[in-house]
Amino acid sequence: MVFFGEFRGKIDKQGRVVIPSKLRNLLKNKSVYITRGLENCLFIFSEKVWESQSEKLKNLPFTKGDPRAFTRLFFSGAYQSKIDRQGRILIPSNLLDYAGIKERIVIIGVGTRIELWAEERWDKYFSHYLSSYSEIAEKLVEL
């Protein structure tokens, strides 16, 4: 399963977001996990990928400060949501606040996860990094 693409939409007054059918069809069951992402977006994981990520993170050394802080922030913000009959998921208000989501959103597929962005934040992020896309690619080859 590989999530890809960019989709624009709105969040409703109840905090529900429609997951585009092209992404929704890749989810094996109707349960997803949502948590704080990086750069103030939200990460949305399938149940299978959530279990895999959780296993990796729980193996980090809890005696070290950075892994401890990251796992606290990652798991404390986590929320399980079910996709309803209209293809929507509920996003808790604390996660909407974290991501700065008010109304307009962008949903992107990023390989093993889906990301949810406030539209203005995504547009700013995208325009900033698009100009250095080639340079980033060259650096990744060196890894």
pLDDT at 78: 96
Domains of the chain from N-terminus onward? 3-142 (3.40.1550.20)
Give the integer Cα–Cα distance in Å for 100 and 90.
16
Q: Which structure tokens are listed for 19?
A: 């997951």
Q: Which residue has the higher pLDDT, 76 or 61?
A: 76
pLDDT band at 65 (very low <50, low <70, confident <90, very high): confident
**Cα–Cα distance list, 91 to 32, 45, 112 (Å):** 11, 13, 20
Nearest to 19 by CA among 101, 97, 107: 107
pLDDT computed for residue 118 by the predictor? 98
pTM, two decimal places: 0.91
How confident is residue 60, by pLDDT bands cut at 50, 70 and 90?
confident
What does the alpha-carbon distance between residue 25 and residue 15 come to, in Å, rounded to a whole number?
22
Provide mean pLDDT across the span 2-29.
93
Task: Check residue 26 and give left, alpha or beta (phi > 0: left; psi -120 to 50: alpha).
Answer: alpha
Structure tokens at 77: 């913000």
